[in-house]
């Protein structure tokens, strides 16, 4: 089975460099990014499309595919908790995205718990008989996918996530 993971298009907090729990929609640039991605993937036939229920992912999915979309809470972004609305610089981003780090930042979701949620989703998907699966989610989710398919390695995930409307293919 081929898994295609897509990160949603740009949203205001991406452009401003902020942590955010708000359920934002795409910016004008995010809409353009999604339309460009639609052209790149138009010749792939997806058996199923699974999407985070957050608006930014839903809107991206609605732009890039005409397929029926299934929403799954397990592929929501890592909850940044009390960091919401704060600049990314309030944390050491390398530590925040280090799987082996035990530092807590406010009430943000623990990275190991977050990865376990994503791994549970992928383990369940593995039991299905699909050929091509499209998943629309978030940067953090793409980091967890990287850990699942490529290994935890040194535990550093800051630079292992997708950019807005970037797509990556994995074999499951």
pLDDT (tens digit, 9 = 90+) per residue, 64-122?
999 999 999 999 999 999 999 999 999 999 999 999 999 999 999 999 999 999 999 99
Q: What is the mean pLDDT of residues 126-133?
A: 97
Tell me how far apart the alpha carbons of residues 38 and 23 are, in angstroms, rounded to a whole number: 23
Residue 121 has φ and ψ, to the nearest 5°, of: -60, -50
Among 128, 170, 124, 163, which residue's Cα sits nearest to residue 145?
A: 170
Q: Which domain holds residue 24?
A: 2-171
For CA atoms 52, 59, 164, 24, give the dihedral sign. negative
Domain with residue 98: its CATH number is 3.40.50.1240
How many domains would you assign to the chain?
A: 1
């Amino acid at each position: 089975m081929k898994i295609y993971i897509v990160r949603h298009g740009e949203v205001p907090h991406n452009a401003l460099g902020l942590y955010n729990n708000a359920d934002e929609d795409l910016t004008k640039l995010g809409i353009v990014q999604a339309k460009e991605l639609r052209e790149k993937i138009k010749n792939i036939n997806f058996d199923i499309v699974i999407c985070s229920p957050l608006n930014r992912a839903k809107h991206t999915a609605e732009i890039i595919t005409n397929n029926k979309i299934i929403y799954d809470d397990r592929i929501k972004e890592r909850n940044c908790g009390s960091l919401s609305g704060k600049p990314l610089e309030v944390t050491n981003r390398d530590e925040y995205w280090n799987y082996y780090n035990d530092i807590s930042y406010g009430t943000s979701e623990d990275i190991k718990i977050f990865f376990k949620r994503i791994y549970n989703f992928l383990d369940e998907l593995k039991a299905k008989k699909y050929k091509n699966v499209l998943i629309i989610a978030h940067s953090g989710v793409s980091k967890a996918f990287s850990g699942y398919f490529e290994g935890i390695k040194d535990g550093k995930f800051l630079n292992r996530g997708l950019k807005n409307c970037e797509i990556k293919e994995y074999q499951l």
